[in-house]
Amino acid sequence: MKVLQILPRVPPAVCGIGDYAWRLAQALRDDHDIHSNFLAAGTNWTQPKGETEFPVFRLPELTSQALVSFVASQVDESQAVVLHMSPYGYQKRAVPFWLAAGWRRLAQLPRRPRLITMFHELYAAGPPTSSAFWLQPLQKWVLREVARASDALRTNREDYAAWLQRVSRPDTQVVVMPVFSNFGEPSVQPAWTEREPSMVLFAWGIHSGESLGSVVRKAAVCGRRFNLKRMHLIGCKQTVDEAGLGLEVVRHGFMEPAAVSALLSSCRMAYTAYSAEHFGKSTLMAAFAAHGLLVITQGRMTELPDGLKDGCNVLNESSLAAWHAVDADRLQNIATALRQWYDGHSVTENARSYAGQIRGLM
């Protein structure tokens, strides 16, 4: 069986959705004998070098006619199409009218593949001074049109699913599964006491509006509370003021996924300034969880979405004052619970769910 995956950009472009779709394709092929072709239909293009693991095509122009013509030419080749919906990837203001019109036309073809849409993101929000505020109604219109023309829907957050359920056809099921790790899923998890007394954080994905230096200082406070000696910064190209941190700072630039995986597995803790409300779509949180790290989160939210609980799967920095001693067993249990949460939406489980939708079984 074959499926066409449509997305803004394909590897080697630096794109979380591209990495997600590529790993999904590997799991669909290896576990379910479903083979993927890729169609890049975004505003930017990075030419793959050499022969790729999966066939890659580029939409010649971003128009509904070009989309319909390409999919129609593949109707004997692909039994299903998976659209990875991230509106800004298809139009710079997140209003890709051409995509909505093309998807609707595909749904009306007498002979067509099954249409599945994965909503990685929905509409933007902002103050009245921002373009996002004024364009939000148009963004919502595009999303509604795509949802209503789809045979099956899926997304990575419960809040997204609730909105999609309201605007889609009454008989349409919306599957919710958080994203999986783009840096692997090691089956062996070193215990807390076997890991280096260090903390790791990514130098991007800061939703709090703070500078990297501010986030590093907050992370260092947490690290000292748990007697950590070192902090690893992944993807950090800038210098960081280490004065008064009390931890050695090791800066890492670009790292291959295998090297990131090895580093994550060696550390005890991770710190994130990513919005807790959006953990379901965070590949960084997924990577921490897949590698059995104890994650310290920012913010004042104690009620977390998508099945996570403060004090059970993660620790909020505001609650650390109650920790007067390092209890390795308790910390290990929290890290283990986060990995167990992750196992419910690992790449294997995501691929199983996609395969059911592709075959029309769910």
For 6-38, write each residue's pLDDT tens digit: 999 998 887 889 999 999 999 999 999 999 999
What pLDDT does 240 receive? 83
- Whole-number Å distance between alpha carbons of 212 and 226: 21
Question: Residue 88 above 70 pLDDT?
Answer: yes
Q: What is the mean pLDDT of residues 38-49?
A: 92
Distance CA 319, CA 332 (A): 17
What does the DSSP 8-state code read for residue 252? Answer: E
With beta carbons less than 8 A apart as the criterion, state whether 225 and 323 touch.
yes
Average pLDDT over residues 213-218: 92
- pTM to 2 decimal places: 0.93
Check pLDDT > 80 for residue 303.
no
pLDDT-derived band at 237, boundaries 50, 70, 90: confident
Domain 2-177+346-358 has CATH 3.40.50.2000: yes
Using a pLDDT cut of 90, give the percent of the chain over it.
Answer: 74
Each residue's pLDDT tens digit, 249-302: 999 988 999 999 999 999 999 999 988 888 999 999 999 999 999 999 987 656
Q: Judge whether residue 310 has pLDDT over 90.
A: no
**What pLDDT score was predicted for residue 302?**
60
- Name the band, by pLDDT with cuts 50, 70 and 90, for residue 130: confident
Q: Tokens 């990995």 — which residue?
A: 339
pLDDT band at 80 (very low <50, low <70, confident <90, very high): very high
Contact (CB, 8 A) for 122 and 131: no
pLDDT at 198 (0 to 100): 97
- The span from the first CA to the last CA of the chain, in angstroms, equals 17
Cα–Cα distance between 127 and 114 in angstroms, integer?
38
Question: What pLDDT digit, counting tens, does each position of 144-195 carry?
Answer: 999 999 999 999 999 999 999 999 999 898 999 999 999 999 999 999 999 9
Q: Which residues are CB-neighbours of 119 under 8 A, at least 6 positions away?
A: 85, 143, 147, 153, 154, 155, 156, 160, 164
Which pLDDT belongs to residue 132? Answer: 75
The number of angstroms, rounded, from the C-alpha of 61 to the middle of its chain's C-alpha atoms is 27
**Polymer length of the chain:** 362
Q: Is residue 322 scored above 90 in pLDDT?
A: no
Say whether 176 sits in a helix, a strand or coil: strand
CB 143 within 8 A of CB 135: no
For 192-343, CATH gives 3.40.50.2000
Count how many Cα atoms sit within 13 Å of the Cα of residue 284 in the half-sphere of its side chain: 23
pLDDT tens profile 338-353: 999 999 999 999 999 9
Q: For residue 259, how far is the Cα from the chain centroid?
A: 20
Same fold, 2-177+346-358 and 192-343: yes
Give the pLDDT score at 338.
Answer: 96
User: Any idea where the domains of the chain sit in the sequence?
Assistant: 2-177+346-358, 192-343
**Stretch among 164-168, 214-218, 232-236, 305-309 having the lowest mean pLDDT:** 305-309
What's the chain's average pLDDT?
92
* Res 15: pLDDT: 87
pLDDT of residue 12: 84
Task: Give the rounded distance of the alpha carbon of 50 from its chain centre.
Answer: 27
